[in-house]
Amino acid sequence: MAKQSDGPARNGTRTTSQARRFLFFLCLLFLVSTLVSLYLDLRSITDKYETIAADLGRSFFQAIDTLREWNLDHNGIFVVTGGDAQPNPYLAESLRTATTTDGRSLSMINHAQMARIFSELLTRQRGVHLHISSLAPIRPGNFADAWEQHALDHFRQGSHEEFDVVEENKGKVFRYMAPLRFEERCLACHPGEAKTHGQTRGGISVSFSYDPFLSAIFDERRKNIILHLMFFIVGIGLITVTGRKLLDSIGALQNSLLQIKRLEGMLPICARCKKIRLQGEDRRDPKSWIAIEQYIGDRTDAEFTHGLCPHCAKELYPTIFPGPDK
């Protein structure tokens, strides 16, 4: 009997092992999927806030460029001299100052000086710095720094805008820059420069602290990580519960198959009454012997109904069942 049950036992162990490996692979696949989803979400969060920062920098650029256009359309404006409105030494002397009929001194504010004045106001009030720069400026303060030089090189290659998050002494700073194209009216401030219409003359860069964006990124990433962690825990829990039920079902099925295998093996059965002796019981104990119907019924879902075969019917009831004539 032991040898006959070894086969089903080995098959059952192999099936259970395969089911465990499948569940492990399923958990591993779920883990990898969750990590990939988390990575893509975290990356999209960073890209989203960089896009928002770029939109903000673009808005500042468009605002200051609109002011420049207005200034250029009016060939500069005169304001009362004083404070940050001082004569521009880089303009032609005839254009620097004027005097009103009541004797007040006026200073010409061209587009570059207007951008610089607004930049100083924005820096003081909003922490936003604007800078008109060029590789060959008239005013030394308008020389492009390293990042701006890199952006200007890209503009000459056809780029329409440049932006990036850079590390500076004061922390992370978002920098945006778009080009300024040379126009005929630029000759008023840049006489003698033979430029092709539409060629890049310089650019306006916008710089502001990226710390508020980093704080928002950190908060959103933390929420995203918590949601993915909760999703992973719930998913693993469901896989564990379902897997346990699957293993229990496999075990129950294996037990049923083992019982069926035992029924197909050698059974000690009485040659006369056909009772079956229970395995491992004393053959001399009457309680060790049970009817074949009970034995099969206890181990399977089979149900029995009774009748008489022709031979037994003739033997027990010869008058009722005479049987065929010989």
Does the structural domain 52-218 have CATH classification 3.30.70?
no
What was the pLDDT predicted at 283? 82
**In the structure encoding, which two tokens stand for residue 81, read together?**
């001299």
What was the pLDDT predicted at 193? 53
Greatest Cα pair distance in the chain: 156
Domain ranges of the chain: 52-218, 268-326
Residues of the chain with pLDDT under 70: 1-12, 90, 93-94, 182-200, 256-257, 259-266, 323-326
Render pLDDT for 36-77 as a digit per residue (tens, 0 to 9).
999 999 999 999 999 999 999 999 989 888 888 888 778 788
Q: Within 10 Å of residue 217's Cβ, how many Cβ atoms?
A: 17
**313/61 Cα distance (integer angstroms):** 110
Residues, the chain: 326
Q: Model pTM greater than 0.85?
A: no
What is the distance, to the nearest Å, from the Cα of residue 38 to the centroid of all Cα atoms in its chain?
Answer: 4
HEC string of 234-303 equals HHHHHHHHHHHHHHHHHHHHHHHHHHHHHHHCCCCECCCCCCEECCCCCCCCHHHEECHHHHHHHHCCCC
**Which residues, including other chains, have CB under 8 Å from residue 117's CB and lie 6 or more apart?**
84, 85, 109
At residue 224, what are phi and psi to the nearest 5 degrees? -65, -40
Contact yes or no for 67/115 (Cβ under 8 A) = yes
Render pLDDT for 204-228 as a digit per residue (tens, 0 to 9).
899 999 999 999 999 999 999 999 9
DSSP state of 186: G
**33/28 Cα distance (integer angstroms):** 9
* CA angle (38 as vertex; 36, 39 as ends), nearest 5: 65
**Which residues, including other chains, have CB under 8 Å from residue 267's CB and lie 6 or more apart?**
276, 295
**141/162 Cα distance (integer angstroms):** 21
